[in-house]
Amino acid sequence: MSSQQIVVFLHVTAGALALLCYWAAALARKGSPWHRAAGQGFLLAMLVVVGTGAPLAWSLWQGGHPRTATFLAYLLLLVSSAMWSARQAVRLKHDFVRYAGPAYRAQAMAVALAGGLVVWIGMTGAGVIFVVFGLVGVVGGIGSLRLAWRGPSDARWWLREHYGAMIGNGVATHIAFLGIGLRGALPGIDPMVQQLLAWLLPVAVAVMAGVWLDRRYGRPSSASSPPLPGRRNSTT
């Protein structure tokens, strides 16, 4: 087995393990030992996915596929950023100032700029998938910078940051799963349609899940939520 084959094997195996851990955490009672253990397992598996994805992106670049290599590198950046936010939001849930420090702002800026580059690549011929996923980075990065500047609106900011990041990670794992599974499940459908379904269906489901979670854990009224450290007063 060549080194390239070993990297691919580790990448796929870790991705499958990440998918299992993702649903184990999602179905467990939130905050329970099982939820935390499955979540840690997911993040560890995704570290392997990112670590093996980097040489794959470099291999694509050397093989004369700069657009695909750039897109894969961008996805790795998105996943890495979401992994960091998911963990740090829980670890620093009582300290927003530390959470939204220089590292948070740097990764938010990097995601926004990289997303803009991917949008441009998509608009110059790479296609709609590049544009859609590039916009995810632009909107997400700007939203994170806005949060860092204005501060949280209530004490549950960390929960929204955590589940928002985990939804983003879920999109990545399910895209990989559908990209492989749809080929066998829907062999009669045009490959381009299969590709669009594999990439865009998880995004659509993620948006709906985000809306539902935002409603469930929505911001309380300002009367019931005292100001938090790190929040800017818009009246001054």
Q: What is the pLDDT of residues 15-38, one digit of tens each?
A: 889 888 988 988 888 888 888 999
Handedness of CA 89, 138, 19, 200 (dihedral sign): positive
Distance CA 175, CA 11 (A): 14
Segment 65-119, tens digit of pLDDT: 899 899 999 999 999 999 999 999 999 999 999 999 999 999 999 999 999 999 9
| Model confidence, pTM | 0.79
Residue predicted with more confidence, 221 or 8: 8
Segment 109-165, tens digit of pLDDT: 999 999 999 999 999 987 888 898 899 899 999 999 999 999 888 888 998 899 888
- One DSSP character per residue, 181-204 reads HHHHH-TTS-HHHHHHHHHHHHHH
